[in-house]
Amino acid sequence: MKNLLFYFGFATIITHELDAMTQSEWRLLFILRSLPEQTASLAFVIIHIPLIAALLWLTNNQSQSIKNWSRIALATFMIIHSGLHKLLENSPNYTFNSPLSMALIYGAGFFGFLYLIQVFISWQQTVSNNLVKGD
């Protein structure tokens, strides 16, 4: 269940990035918004190539520790990202008002939150089992 929650969160945040392209999200980002429109949109797309590659590599890493911590970090980001969108919703450049946009933004945060709850429950169970075993 925990993995499924993570994958739904990851899929939702990536799909949000597709929607972000149609909404010209670079107009909200500190560095990109100061660039010419054509340059900013191109940079926005190109930046996502190494970013998504790194996220795929980290969150599916053979090292269990790297995999777990990167998933926790991404799930935390999904929650923070939802909060940032909430803070920016009154900006004149904010156009994420459709039900789809809001479902993707807040859905990713929701899945990230549920994933972190599952991680916490798993840790609690591991600690409890270790105490019972006397480890």
pLDDT per residue as tens digits for the range 67-99: 999 999 999 999 999 999 999 999 999 999 999
How far, in Å, CA of 57 to CA of 66, rounded? 10
pLDDT value for 128: 77
53 or 124: which leads in pLDDT: 53
Q: 12 and 85 in contact (C-beta within 8 Å)?
A: no
Burial of 25 per CB tally in 10 Å (0-12, 13-18, 19+): buried
Mean pLDDT over residues 46-67, rounded? 97
Per the prediction, the chain carries an average pLDDT of 94
Judged against a pLDDT cut of 70, whether residue 55 lies above it is answered with: yes
